[in-house]
Chain A
């Protein structure tokens, strides 16, 4: 077809061709460049300089170690790929965890890889408590501390040096005692908010054994739990959860072919429904602190007016107990009958029942139930542990709230006092009074050993960064254990991420920088060597009984298995030594100005607050409410009605000691005269995920203590509630809280699902 010249065109032929040519080459260039830049960037293939010996790239390696996020001491297995920790599982060979973990234990990886970890030693620049620190080298930090300690020691004033730690067990504890001994000081205290101080004391009083027994829940068929949230975070949650599963099935996991016992029944007595309360067959909301009376009331019926305790129990007839505890007399009789008729009844006490001013008498009364049932040392009962393979028990190590106050104040009163704080954060989980802070301010030198800049570390002069538990060495004899001697070694599963050290190494390095006597007394090159030595002594003692070629074989075998134990059990006679009586609880605040009992509770995600800096835990819905990222206060609908508030309305919660603000959560699982708040949020300094989030209920508690032990009575404060008129929308998972008659939880008992066939 002949091309017609376009009459409107002003282009000459030459211009037209130039235009086409330019256009074409521009487009071709564009195509060329698009191809170039749309290609995947060049990747490099970086080999090792020296190949790793202990793993193959692309193949997972597994190391056994010990979890230390709570004092239970679960054995864990960590999956490692290319030298990085990927996943934590329970160690199936470990008798405490038996292959399971809790939610917090899973998050240990975020302790290791937490972006807010302390990476180098720091020293204080500004005022104490302001968080103004600057970086120093290990060498200068250690030399500063060592020369200070050395000076004191040589001047025979080492007695003013104190050491405050959290839960440090095993041979590290021995090393610390030795270090302080060399300093000429006996000031060594452990303090943990959750330590069951009252339970130790009650067991000492009742059974003459100051230890935590192993409650054989799995083999029990009727479990009466007074406030012990053993499915939540009480004492040893993984071990007890496993036992609970078997308790419900009436047989041990793996015995699937064996005969079933009766399905175990669980009764939970507590004013606010905990996770354990939610799983109980019957939840009995008793008045906070009156659990002891209830236990005595049940004992009264079981004993039937006979026996050694008849006189002491005489006045605890059902009507009187009903009046004290707010539980109907018929319920008390029913519980007593069931407890008395059960083949293997078991009573445990903890949580709120142990956290009043009358914690010990309450627990003694609960112990009496076990004594009357003949439970001591029996299968399905209360099994006491033999003396641990090494180390001191929690009773020996831990101090109560009053002990801690006295401890810190004494050091403050000494000239040249030094306080070393490792692995505990008392400024978070202490009541709101300023005594501890004031005492800390007066101590000339406070040295902190920590992985995070928490509330307490803000008051330190020098903070030394320590390894996370996945990077360092240690060992552990778990408490309460499982009725047998169990010990495990904690080994590093990854190389330390930063320039950090084990706590033990810090003290060995300090000794090495001090005078010759100190160096000679602590001659180990590092804590690993110390630990091996200690285990060698254990091995030598048992050499004949152990079936290993030499110590090295034994050590390797324990490292590989993650656990070592002896099957010998302790013998414990069913003798009861204590006097039983009911002591009414004392609450701070009168019931006119402060009409509600205030019950803080240990939360599933954060334990005593230490889990709050882990993003997985922050984003883990609370089991009871599904709330994430915040605090709340639980109210009975009747209370909410009375106050005229609805879900999300912010209340001013005031106690004799202080006040805080928290949004309302309305729940059927709480007494109308009680309000409850979760512990864990409300940190003022704990990294980016925790700081400034929610409120800390412990901060408004009065400094109430147990009348016998001086333990912090965190369930003995009353509060007043005032609506503020403000409100928030809860951040939580969606969905209905009622099934609306859909068969989501299965057909009602007795019915089968329509259609019948399943699976």
Chain B
């Protein structure tokens, strides 16, 4: 008895098409979520605007992010730091009053992390700041962002790409960045 392979396969055709459509739909759904809800610019507990601080008033990044040049972490300013100015400046604005409330109750502001690296990544801000990599290289044009937004993918490919381009010493060794 002879069997036609073609015919035998043909029997699966409707099933294959159905699976194909289902898969395409699944991927489309996934992509739709990533496109419409990228989560790269979450709503923060206080509508802090880098446009005003870094853009309009041109306050240096490291005036607030004080550890950037000497530690792994850049440092989110302490509430006390904010109050240093806002005890007197713009105290009538609703967002500043939120800040004052946090300060008065001695509570930290629960900012939502926008630039989040995995825990196994060793990323020293100081190395990059000392190498004169502009903050904007990774954080985007922060001074134009009313709400902070992640622009760079912060993927390993993206990190290594820059290391290669700049010919960073041992920049491709796994243990330079992994811990």
Contacts and interface: CB of A to CB of B under 8 A. Distances in A.
- Are any A and B Cβ atoms less than 8 Å apart in their complex? yes
Interface of A: 6, 20, 23-25, 27-36, 39-40, 42-51, 56-59
Given A39-B39, A46-B110, A31 B25 contact: yes
B111 A46 contact: yes
A30 B42 contact: no
Contact of A43 (B14, B71, B116): B116
A40 B116 contact: yes
Interface stretch (B76-84, B128-136, B139-147, B158-166): B76-84
B111 A45 contact: yes
Contacts of B67: 56-59
Nearest to B36: A32
6 nearest A-B pairs in the assembled complex, by CB-CB distance: A31-B29, A28-B29, A58-B71, A35-B33, A27-B25, A31-B26
A56 B70 contact: yes
B30 interface: yes
B107 A49 contact: yes
A260 to B, nearest CB: 40
Contact of B22 (A23, A33, A50, A56): A23
A31 B30 contact: yes
Contacts of A57: 67, 71, 73, 75
B25 A47 contact: no
Interface string B56-72: 00000000001100111
A36 B112 CA distance: 17
A58 B72 contact: yes
A46 B112 CA distance: 8
Interface residues of B, number: 41
Contact of B34 (A30, A35, A47): A35
Contacts of B72: 58-59
Interface in B154-176: none
A46 B77 CA distance: 10
A40 B115 CA distance: 12
Contacts of B112: 42-45
11 contacts: A27-B25, A28-B32, A30-B26, A34-B26, A36-B33, A47-B79, A49-B78, A49-B80, A56-B67, A59-B71, A59-B72
Contacts of B80: 48-51
A24 B17 CA distance: 12
B152 interface: no
A45 B67 CA distance: 15
B137 to A, nearest CB: 20
Given A47-B109, A58-B67, A23 B18 contact: yes
Contacts of B109: 46-47
Nearest to A43: B113
A447 to B, nearest CB: 36
Most buried by B among A24, A32, A57, A59: A32
Contacts of A50: 78-80
Contact of A58 (B23, B73, B108): B73
Contacts of A45: 76, 111-113
B179 interface: no
A25 to B, nearest CB: 7
A35 B35 CA distance: 11
B121 interface: no
Given A44-B110, A49-B78, A23 B21 contact: yes
A48 B33 contact: no
A29 B30 CA distance: 8
Interface string B99-120: 0000100111111110010000
Given A31-B29, A32-B29, A46 B22 contact: no
A50 B84 CA distance: 11
